[in-house]
Amino acid sequence: MDITFQNVSYTYQPGTPFQGVGLQDINVTIPSGSYTALIGHTGSGKSTLLQHLNALLKPTSGVVKIGTREITPETNNKHLKAIRQKVGMVFQFPESQLFESTVQKDIAFGPQNFGVPIDEALARAKEMIELVGLPANVIDKSPFDLSGGQMRRVAIAGVLAMQPEVLVLDEPTAGLDPVGRREMMGLFEKLHIEQGMTIVMVTHQMDDVANYADNVIVLEHGRLAKTGSPREIFADPDWLTEKQLGLPTTTQFAQALSRRGFIFDQVPLTEHELAALLAEQLPKKAGRAHE
């Protein structure tokens, strides 16, 4: 299910003194099955763009195509449920959306809203608890008795239980410890590879972009600044610095090495890539040092 933006603009509270521009003339496609990272400095319109992906916001001009549905400024607010089920959205700090008396009921809440019978919804909840790596005994606990990291997993499980085709994540690992981060990112990677789920993720972690994404969208002041593969985006460090964005640690390290005489014909993105490229060059270097 491709999601395409055609000349999309969005203005907050038009016609009031509180008016503000969210998006300006965005043209971009998020291909089906891709792992898209959305980056840009704070206030660049990332979250505004995210909310267009499941019609929580409608463009003030232009068209958003979600699969076969077209969302225009005139689109009626009713009958959007079908879209919301296909595009699951995990907001920033999603633990603040929990409300049910037990974890299981909370996870089943989403599917029930889309007409899944209660038994099946509860069964799905059980599966999801395992999928997101929660211990089985949390099932009957109140979500408010869990730790912050566990609450976040419950919230994510609640979205996954809707069995979306596209998973939209707004900084899913913000505020998690390193282990929690790695596990969460591993889960999304697994969903992407095993189930072919389309993933759209807003993040400030360039390492995550380099390690997982295959498509990057850069926003700046509500405008589209660049799109391309991570390799294309990270190939120009000066441009990124100018846009107040950083490089992945691996790429930074590779840059420092290249100042000391190492040659990389393409930017290494992951540790493995860097290691492989270094392994090729090190023997030669060592040989030269002996002479």
Partner 1 sequence: MNKLILGRYIPGDSILHRMDPRAKLLASFYYIGIIFLARTWQAYALLLVFTLVLIGISKIKLDFFIKGVKPLLWLILFTVLLQIFFTRGGHVYWQWGFLSLTQYGLINGAYIFMRFVLIIFMSTLLTLTTPPLSLADAIESILKPLKVVHFPVYEVALMLSIALRFVPTLMDETTKIMDAQRARGVDFGEGNLFQQMKAIVPILIPLFVSSFNRADDLATAMEARGYQGGEGRSKYRILKWRTKDTVAFILMGLLTIALIFLR
Answer yes or no whether residue 51 interacts with partner 1 by CB under 8 A. Answer: yes
Q: Which residues pair with 219 in a beta bridge?
A: 224
CB of 17: closest distance to partner 1 in angstroms? 5
Q: What is the DSSP string of 3-48?
A: EEEEEEEEEESTTSTT-EEEEEEEEEEE-TT-EEEEE-STTSSHHH
Answer yes or no whether residue 110 interacts with partner 1 by CB under 8 A. Answer: yes
CB of 121: closest distance to partner 1 in angstroms? 11
Answer yes or no whether residue 91 interacts with partner 1 by CB under 8 A. Answer: yes
Answer yes or no whether residue 96 interacts with partner 1 by CB under 8 A. Answer: yes
CB of 13: closest distance to partner 1 in angstroms? 6
Answer yes or no whether residue 109 interacts with partner 1 by CB under 8 A. Answer: yes
Answer yes or no whether residue 125 interacts with partner 1 by CB under 8 A. Answer: no
Answer yes or no whether residue 88 interacts with partner 1 by CB under 8 A. Answer: yes
Only segment of 22-30, 155-163, 208-216, 262-270 that touches partner 1 (CB under 8 A): 155-163
Given candidates 34, 44, 85, 198, which one binds partner 1 under the rule CB under 8 A? Answer: 85
Answer yes or no whether residue 162 interacts with partner 1 by CB under 8 A. Answer: yes
CB of 98: closest distance to partner 1 in angstroms? 7
Residue numbers at the binding site for partner 1 (CB under 8 A): 13, 16-18, 51, 54, 56, 78, 81, 84-85, 88-89, 91, 94, 96-99, 109-110, 113-114, 144, 158-159, 162
